[in-house]
C-alpha cells in the first residue's frame, strides 16, 4: 500500500509544479534611438523596472507588430540572469479597437441600406413623372377639352409634378447627408485605428533573480515598413559662384508605433539585402541553338514616371514604397496613393512594396505612367495582422493619412537659419549620418524631410546642347573629388538663379573622378538646326548611289555673361562594307570615328552668335535602300 501511495503523490506534485505559471512583470520602455536603413529600421529602447525573486517573465509592451523576432537583442543590468527572449503578438488592444470599429461599420451599413432605398424611391418618382407625361393628352381626336377641363387638368399636373419634384429634392438631400455621414464615420475609423491601435506586439524576457531588485534593459530590434531615401536641393546663383547642395533624407514609417523625440541615424546599408558574396560559376560555351541568351534592353532615357498604388479593393495605399531597382532612388505614396519619381538613365524597373502585400516589380521601359494594384500577402497577414476578433480590421495598421512634413527646411527664406548638427561616421562596410536634434515622427505614412548637411562646393560649369534631339541647352555642374561628401544616388530638385528649373538625378554611383550634375534647361541660349538643301543631293554614279546631307546649326547666347558650350551632333556609322560614309565640312568639330559623334567646344560671349556646319556623304549600291531622314 505504501508503495502505491508514493508514486501517486509524486504525480500530483509534478503536475502542480508544471501547472504553475511564471509571474508576468510589465515594465515601461521608451525608444531612444532609431537607425534608418534604405529599407527597414533598427530601434533602440531602454526599459526599467523591478523584478521579483525567482523566475519571472518581464514584459515590454506596446511595440511594433512588424518587429523581426530573429533580430531582437537584449542586454540587462542588475542582479539577475536572462534565460530566454521571445516575441508575442498582443491582441487585447486590437480587440478593443476592433469592437468599436465593428460598431461603426454597422452604422455605415445601415446608412448604405437607407441610401439604396432612397435611390429606389427616386427611380419610382421618375417613373411616376413619365407616366403623367405619357397621359397628358386631353380629349379625343374629334373633340377638344373645355376650358374648365383644361384648367382642372393643368392644376392636376402642376400639383402632382410639384410633389414629385419636391420629394425628389428631399430624397437627394438625404442621400447627400448620408454621404457626409459615411465620410465622417470612415475618417473616425481611420483616426481610431491610428490613435488607439498601438499595443500590437510585446517582447517577453524570462529572468531569474536571487532576490527582488531593480533591473534595466537595453533592447534593439529590426522593424519593417520604415526607411529613407536620399534627396537633394541643388542651387546655383550664377556660374561664377559655388554650388549649394542640401543633403536631405525623406523618411517614412508605418511601424504602428510613434517615434517621440528620438535620435535618428541614417545608414546606407540594407539589412534585407543578402550579405553572401556571389560565386562565379563555370561558363560553358556551346552552339547557338543550344544557348539561351537574355535580350538586352534599350537604354532608358532619363525622365519622370508617376502613377498610383491601389489595394485589392481599388483604394489608395498611402505610404507605399516605390524604389528604382538596384538604386537608392525612391519615394513613398501620398494620401491618395499617388507618387512621382525622376528616373536615372539606366532605370529598368520599379519595385512597389507595402507591409502585408506582395512586392511587385514592373518594367519602366517606354512608360511615363505606372500604376499597380497590390495583392495581399496571405502569409504576412497571418503572421502580423491577425486580430482578436477576426480579419475585418486588416487595414487597421495600414491605412494612414499621408502628407509631407518638413523639418529643418532649407527654403530660400529659411536658408540663413541655424544649421542642423550632423556627423558622418564611416564604418567598415557602411556610412552612417547622425542627427543631433531629436525628431518625432508619427506612424502614419507621412513623409518627413530631414536636413542632413549643407555644402558649398566649388564647381565648374558648362553648357551641353544636342540640337538634333532638343532645342534647349542644359547646364552641367562638374564637381571634382566628390567622394569626400559621402553622397548616395538620389533625386534632386534644381534651382538656378533663384528659380526652380526642374528635377534631375544625382548619380553618386558614378565611377568617374568628376561628378556631373545636370542643372536643367537654360532657354537663354537659343539654337536652331536646319537641313541645307544646297548640300542635300542624291545622284547615281555607275552601280552606286551617292547621297549628301548638310545641316547648319546656329547658336546664340542671350545671357549677360560669357558661357562655355559643348555642342554634340552625329554622322552615321556604316556597319556594312558596301556602305561608305565620308565626313565633309564639320566647322572644326572633333569626330569620333567609332561612334560618329561630333563635338564642338565653344566660348560664346554675351550676345554672341556662331554658325556650325555638319556635312557628310553616303555611297551605297543602287539596288539597295537606306534611310537617312
The CATH number of the structural domain formed by 94-137+153-196 is 1.10.287
Residue 26: name the closest of 5, 56, 1 by CA: 56
* 51 exposure class (CB count in 10 Å sphere: 0-12, 13-18, 19+): buried
In the predicted model, is pLDDT for residue 195 greater than 60?
no
Instruction: Please say whether the structural domain 21-90+199-223 has been given the CATH code 2.60.40.
Output: yes
Asked whether 376 and 312 are in contact (CB, 8 A), the reply is yes
In the predicted model, is pLDDT for residue 574 greater than 80?
yes
Highest-confidence range of 288-302, 381-395, 603-617, by mean pLDDT? 603-617
In the predicted model, is pLDDT for residue 595 greater than 50?
yes
Which segments of 302-386 are extended strands (E)? 303-310, 321-324, 330-332, 338-343, 349-353, 360-363, 372-373
Task: State the pLDDT at residue 4.
Answer: 47
pLDDT digits (tens, 9 = 90+) for 399-422: 333 333 333 333 333 334 444 455
> Which stretch of 255-264, 394-403, 514-523 has the lowest confidence by average pLDDT?
394-403
Burial 564-587 (b: 16+ CB within 10 A, else e): ebbbebbbeeeeeeebeeeeeebb
- What's the CA gap between 404 and 445, in Å, rounded? 9
Task: State the pLDDT at residue 255.
Answer: 86
Element holding 154 (H helix, E strand): helix 147-196
Average pLDDT (325-334) is 84
Banded pLDDT at 208 (limits 50, 70, 90): very high
pLDDT digits (tens, 9 = 90+) for 359-384: 899 988 878 889 999 988 766 544 44
Residue 236: name the closest of 485, 494, 507, 413 by CA: 494
At residue 135, φ and ψ (nearest 5 deg) are -115, 30
Average pLDDT (544-564) is 91
- What's the CA gap between 13 and 1, in Å, rounded? 19
Number of helices (H), then strands (E), belonging to the chain: the values are 4, 35
In the predicted model, is pLDDT for residue 283 greater than 60?
yes
- What's the CA gap between 397 and 192, in Å, rounded? 11
Higher pLDDT, 600 or 22: 600
Higher pLDDT, 617 or 318: 617
Which residues, in sequence order, are CB contacts of 36 under 8 Å at separation 6+?
Answer: 226, 227, 228, 249, 251, 264, 265, 266, 267
Asked whether 200 and 65 are in contact (CB, 8 A), the reply is yes
One fold for 21-90+199-223 and 526-621: yes
- What's the CA gap between 236 and 112, in Å, rounded? 56
Higher pLDDT, 386 or 424: 424
pLDDT digits (tens, 9 = 90+) for 94-148: 545 556 677 778 888 888 888 888 888 888 878 777 777 776 665 554 566 677 7
In the predicted model, is pLDDT for residue 542 greater than 80?
yes
* 503 exposure class (CB count in 10 Å sphere: 0-12, 13-18, 19+): middle
> Which stretch of 392-401, 418-427, 499-508 has the lowest confidence by average pLDDT?
392-401
Task: State the pLDDT at residue 103.
Answer: 77
- What's the CA gap between 64 and 521, in Å, rounded? 46
At residue 439, φ and ψ (nearest 5 deg) are -125, 155
Work out the angle at residue 341's Cα, subtended by the Cα atoms of residues 339 and 344, and round it to the nearest 5 degrees: 160
Distances (CA, A) of 346 to 65, 366, 484: 37, 12, 25
DSSP lists the bridge partners of residue 331 as 322
Task: State the pLDDT at residue 527.
Answer: 92
Banded pLDDT at 192 (limits 50, 70, 90): low
Banded pLDDT at 498 (limits 50, 70, 90): confident
Look at strands 259-267 and 360-363 and give their pairing. Answer: unpaired
Asked whether 459 and 477 are in contact (CB, 8 A), the reply is yes
In the predicted model, is pLDDT for residue 33 greater than 60?
yes
In the predicted model, is pLDDT for residue 151 greater than 90?
no
Average pLDDT (420-442) is 68
In the predicted model, is pLDDT for residue 393 greater than 50?
no
The topology (CATH level 3) of 526-621 is: Immunoglobulin-like (2.60.40)
Higher pLDDT, 151 or 78: 78
Element holding 115 (H helix, E strand): helix 92-134
Banded pLDDT at 588 (limits 50, 70, 90): very high
Task: State the pLDDT at residue 404.
Answer: 35
Burial 182-199 (b: 16+ CB within 10 A, else e): eeeeeeebbeebbeebbb
In the predicted model, is pLDDT for residue 228 greater than 70?
yes
End-to-end CA distance of the chain: 112
In the predicted model, is pLDDT for residue 176 greater than 70?
yes
Task: State the pLDDT at residue 218.
Answer: 93
Asked whether 384 and 340 are in contact (CB, 8 A), the reply is no
In the predicted model, is pLDDT for residue 316 greater than 50?
yes
In the predicted model, is pLDDT for residue 54 greater than 70?
yes
- What's the CA gap between 469 and 464, in Å, rounded? 12
Task: State the pLDDT at residue 572.
Answer: 92
Banded pLDDT at 290 (limits 50, 70, 90): low
Asked whether 335 and 400 are in contact (CB, 8 A), the reply is no
Tell the residue number behind the cell numbers 502505491, with chain if given.
Answer: 4
Asked whether 305 and 349 are in contact (CB, 8 A), the reply is no
Banded pLDDT at 277 (limits 50, 70, 90): low
Asked whether 497 and 238 are in contact (CB, 8 A), the reply is yes
DSSP lists the bridge partners of residue 75 as 218
Element holding 169 (H helix, E strand): helix 147-196
In the predicted model, is pLDDT for residue 48 greater than 50?
yes
In the predicted model, is pLDDT for residue 11 greater than 50?
no
Which residues, in sequence order, are CB contacts of 368 under 8 Å at separation 6+?
Answer: 303, 304, 305, 306
Task: State the pLDDT at residue 390.
Answer: 30
Asked whether 217 and 32 are in contact (CB, 8 A), the reply is no
Distances (CA, A) of 249 to 123, 232, 351, 486, 487: 55, 8, 19, 13, 11
Average pLDDT (272-293) is 61
Task: State the pLDDT at residue 275.
Answer: 58
- Residue extents of the structural domains in the chain: 21-90+199-223, 94-137+153-196, 526-621
Amino acid at each position: 500500500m505504501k508503495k502505491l501511495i508514493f508514486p501517486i503523490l509524486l504525480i500530483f506534485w509534478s503536475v502542480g509544479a508544471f501547472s504553475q505559471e511564471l509571474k508576468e512583470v510589465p515594465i515601461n520602455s521608451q525608444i531612444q534611438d532609431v537607425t534608418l536603413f534604405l529599407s527597414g529600421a533598427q530601434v533602440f529602447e531602454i526599459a526599467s523596472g523591478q523584478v521579483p525573486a525567482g523566475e519571472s517573465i518581464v514584459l515590454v509592451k506596446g511595440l511594433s507588430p512588424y518587429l523581426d523576432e530573429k533580430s531582437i537583442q537584449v542586454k540587462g543590468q542588475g542582479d539577475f540572469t536572462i534565460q530566454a527572449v521571445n516575441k508575442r503578438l498582443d491582441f487585447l488592444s486590437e480587440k478593443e479597437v476592433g469592437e468599436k470599429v465593428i460598431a461603426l461599420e454597422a452604422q455605415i451599413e445601415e446608412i448604405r441600406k437607407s441610401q439604396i432605398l432612397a435611390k429606389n424611391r427616386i427611380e419610382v418618382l421618375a417613373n411616376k413623372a413619365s407616366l403623367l407625361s405619357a397621359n397628358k393628352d386631353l380629349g379625343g381626336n374629334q373633340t377638344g377639352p373645355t376650358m374648365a377641363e383644361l384648367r382642372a387638368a393643368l392644376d392636376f399636373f402642376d400639383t402632382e409634378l410639384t410633389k414629385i419634384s419636391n420629394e425628389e429634392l428631399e430624397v437627394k438631400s438625404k442621400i447627400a447627408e448620408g454621404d457626409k455621414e459615411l465620410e465622417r464615420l470612415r475618417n473616425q475609423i481611420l483616426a481610431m485605428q491610428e490613435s488607439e491601435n498601438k499595443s500590437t506586439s510585446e517582447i517577453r524576457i524570462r529572468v531569474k533573480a536571487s532576490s527582488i531588485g531593480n533591473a534595466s534593459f537595453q533592447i534593439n530590434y529590426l522593424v519593417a515598413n520604415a526607411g529613407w531615401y536620399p534627396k537633394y536641393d541643388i542651387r546655383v546663383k550664377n556660374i561664377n559662384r559655388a554650388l549649394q547642395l542640401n543633403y536631405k533624407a525623406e523618411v517614412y514609417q508605418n511601424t504602428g508605433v510613434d517615434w517621440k523625440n528620438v535620435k535618428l541615424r541614417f545608414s546606407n546599408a540594407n539589412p534585407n539585402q543578402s550579405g553572401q558574396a556571389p560565386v562565379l560559376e563555370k561558363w560553358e560555351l556551346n552552339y547557338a541553338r543550344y544557348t539561351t541568351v537574355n535580350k538586352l534592353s534599350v537604354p532608358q532615357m532619363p525622365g519622370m514616371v508617376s502613377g498610383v498604388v491601389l489595394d485589392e479593393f481599388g483604394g489608395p495605399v498611402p505610404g507605399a514604397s516605390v524604389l528604382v531597382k538596384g538604386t537608392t532612388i525612391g519615394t513613398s505614396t501620398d494620401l491618395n496613393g499617388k507618387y512621382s519619381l525622376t528616373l536615372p538613365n539606366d532605370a529598368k524597373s520599379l519595385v512597389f512594396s507595402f507591409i502585408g502585400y506582395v512586392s511587385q516589380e514592373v518594367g519602366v521601359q517606354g512608360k511615363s505612367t505606372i500604376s499597380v494594384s497590390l495583392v495581399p500577402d496571405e502569409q504576412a497577414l497571418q503572421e502580423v495582422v491577425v486580430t482578436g476578433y477576426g480579419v475585418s480590421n486588416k487595414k487597421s495598421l495600414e491605412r494612414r493619412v499621408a502628407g509631407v512634413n518638413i523639418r529643418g527646411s532649407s527654403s530660400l527664406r529659411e536658408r540663413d537659419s541655424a544649421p542642423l548638427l550632423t556627423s558622418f561616421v564611416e564604418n567598415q562596410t557602411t556610412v552612417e549620418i547622425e542627427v543631433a536634434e531629436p525628431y518625432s515622427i508619427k506612424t502614419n505614412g507621412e513623409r518627413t524631410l530631414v536636413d542632413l548637411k549643407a555644402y558649398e562646393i566649388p564647381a565648374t560649369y558648362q553648357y551641353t546642347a544636342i540640337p538634333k534631339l532638343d532645342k534647349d541647352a542644359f547646364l552641367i555642374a562638374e564637381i571634382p573629388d566628390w567622394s569626400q561628401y559621402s553622397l548616395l544616388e538620389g533625386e534632386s530638385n534644381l534651382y538656378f538663379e533663384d528659380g526652380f528649373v526642374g528635377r534631375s538625378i544625382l548619380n553618386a554611383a558614378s565611377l568617374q573622378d568628376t561628378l556631373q550634375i545636370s542643372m536643367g534647361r537654360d532657354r537663354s541660349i537659343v539654337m536652331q538646326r536646319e537641313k541645307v538643301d544646297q548640300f542635300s543631293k542624291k545622284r547615281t554614279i555607275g552601280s552606286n548611289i551617292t547621297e549628301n546631307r548638310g545641316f547648319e546649326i546656329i547658336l546664340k547666347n542671350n545671357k549677360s555673361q560669357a558661357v562655355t558650350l559643348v555642342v554634340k551632333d552625329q554622322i552615321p556609322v556604316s556597319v556594312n562594307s558596301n556602305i561608305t560614309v565620308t565626313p565633309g565640312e564639320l566647322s572644326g568639330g572633333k569626330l569620333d570615328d567609332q561612334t560618329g559623334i561630333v563635338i564642338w567646344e565653344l566660348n560664346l560671349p554675351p550676345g554672341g552668335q556662331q554658325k556650325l556646319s555638319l556635312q557628310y556623304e553616303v555611297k551605297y549600291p543602287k539596288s539597295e535602300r537606306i534611310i537617312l531622314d
